[in-house]
Amino acid sequence: MSTTFPDGFLWGAATSAYQTEGSLTADGRGRSVWDDFTARPGAVEGGGDGSIACDSYRRWADDVQLVADLHLGAYRFSVGWSRVLPTGRGPVEQRGLDHYERLVDALLERGATPVVTLNHWDMPSELMRDGGWAGRSTVDAFGEYASAVADRLADRVTWWITQNEPWIVSLLGYQLGLHAPGVADLDAAFRAAHHVLLGHGRAADVLHAASGRAQVGAALSLFPCDPATDAPEDRAAAWGSDGYVNRWYLDALLGQGYPADMRAHWERALGHGVDDVVREGDEPAIAGRSDFVGVNYYTRRVVAAAPVGPDRAFPWRVVTATDDNPRSDEGWEIVPDALRDLLVRIEREYGVPSMVTENGGVFGDGPTHDGRVHDVRRTELLLGHLRAVHHAIGAGARVLGYLHWSLLDNFEWALGYRPRFGLVHVDYPTGRRTVKDSGLLYAEIARTGTLPDRLPAITPFG
């Protein structure tokens, strides 16, 4: 079977503002929740923060040149929310928008399609006065922000991501407190999960009104959930986990409303009705506004039944897979076939196109004696997942593109600078960029739209 992808398939890579930009006080930028979180002792492995990161706010032209050198037809980046609305509401900081306008124009001049994310977690700190995403007023603030960005960029940007990984925002930011804003409260997590989706609906309405050609979606962290055994209780646990991680967001966004089984799980865990938070008219305000689903896929969850208790809100737990699959340096199981099945599922169950908006792995390879980065394991991961995407397309899934995470090694949130996801190695003290072997191979795939039958010899540019 041919491994050539359809014409118009978007080949790209992704980054986010806080993870790469640095320059945290430049051009009127306000303080974000991640500025606050990284200032907490022990919150980030190694004590790092985003104050320099990849220095991409100043070196944006270098990054655009990398996109061009890698023959990428798309670049997903995020607008820093606190660069545009420094206090979350009120006056717009035009200097921040000037920066993103320059970036968009430079990409378009090189034939690369901008894929713009509005919220990649860097909420302005001032919005925490009303609870952040746990407070309903943040939905209005997000609408203001979307309007400010659309007013400047909607005439040139077609592809939009409203929210990045709503489940992770809820789980790590408001339930476990492991990400900014560092809240550990189940009720706040539930409210945040709902309000992030309401924010998607509000921003999607703004973007569609601003441009008739806008294509809008949310990027969801989707984890296929497999039962640990064939036992009925483990199968039920896997289905429940799927509701918690996947269906709660997919069903709401794509017009089916919040799933009844997960409503029941939440009501038992919270001790109050879902409709205490989900008001009349909310679900219609979320549904039917997604032109596509952004799929952030890294691994699967293997799930077993477990009793509810003080430290377990839901009757399941994630267990270590017994399959002999390879793993990344972060210990994540590498299962490309699960991505194929996920993309086919989205098409069959929801009837909507998808775009792989993130996929990648942590591998710590650095420059060797020849100055190159021979990241063979990332190259194998890349090829395996691209074959899975191709198989999904062959099975009828409308997959619009593949955006690798990440273009650059960068600040990996609470894990600091240790994990490296990039196609391009970044030497953090100097900012020097070195295209890894995986990036060199991906450049050829993006140029030709075709996968090699086997791992080829890789030569550097020039």
Beta carbons within 10 angstroms of residue 273's beta carbon: 11
Does residue 458 form part of some domain? Answer: no
Give the C-alpha separation, 291 to 355, whole Å.
10
Say which residues have a Cβ less than 8 Å from residue 106's Cβ, sequence separation at least 6: 60, 61, 64
Determine the pLDDT at residue 462.
58
Dihedral sign, Cα of residue 340, residue 346, residue 351, residue 354 = negative
What confidence tier does 94 reach under pLDDT thresholds 50, 70, 90?
Answer: very high
Q: Does residue 248 contact residue 259 with C-beta atoms inside 8 Å?
A: yes
Q: Domains in the chain: how many in total?
A: 1
pTM of the model: 0.98
Assess whether pLDDT exceeds 60 at residue 318: yes
Half-sphere exposure of 439 (CA within 13 A, CB side): 28
Q: Does residue 48 contact residue 439 with C-beta atoms inside 8 Å?
A: no
Percent of the chain with pLDDT over 90: 97
Does residue 459 form part of some domain? Answer: no
Mean pLDDT of the chain: 97
Determine the pLDDT at residue 2.
64
Q: Does residue 424 contact residue 444 with C-beta atoms inside 8 Å?
A: no
Q: Is 330 a catalytic residue?
A: no
Q: Does residue 406 contact residue 421 with C-beta atoms inside 8 Å?
A: yes
Say which residues have a Cβ less than 8 Å from residue 247's Cβ, sequence separation at least 6: 259, 262
Say which residues have a Cβ less than 8 Å from residue 360's Cβ, sequence separation at least 6: 298, 378, 381, 382, 404, 405, 406, 421
Determine the pLDDT at residue 152.
98
Note down the domain range covering 81: 10-448
Does residue 16 form part of some domain? Answer: yes
Does residue 2 form part of some domain? Answer: no
CATH number of the domain within which 421 lies:
3.20.20.80
Does residue 454 form part of some domain? Answer: no
Assess whether pLDDT exceeds 60 at residue 39: yes
Say which residues have a Cβ less than 8 Å from residue 117's Cβ, sequence separation at least 6: 16, 76, 77, 78, 79, 160, 161, 162, 164, 219
Q: Is 333 a catalytic residue?
A: no
Does residue 248 form part of some domain? Answer: yes
pLDDT, tens digit, 9 for 90 and up, residues 67-82: 999 999 999 999 999 9
Catalytic residue among 93, 126, 347, 358: 358
pLDDT, tens digit, 9 for 90 and up, residues 407-426: 999 999 999 999 999 999 99
Assess whether pLDDT exceeds 90 at residue 221: yes
Catalytic residue among 21, 165, 283, 412: 165
Mean pLDDT in residue range 230-257 = 97
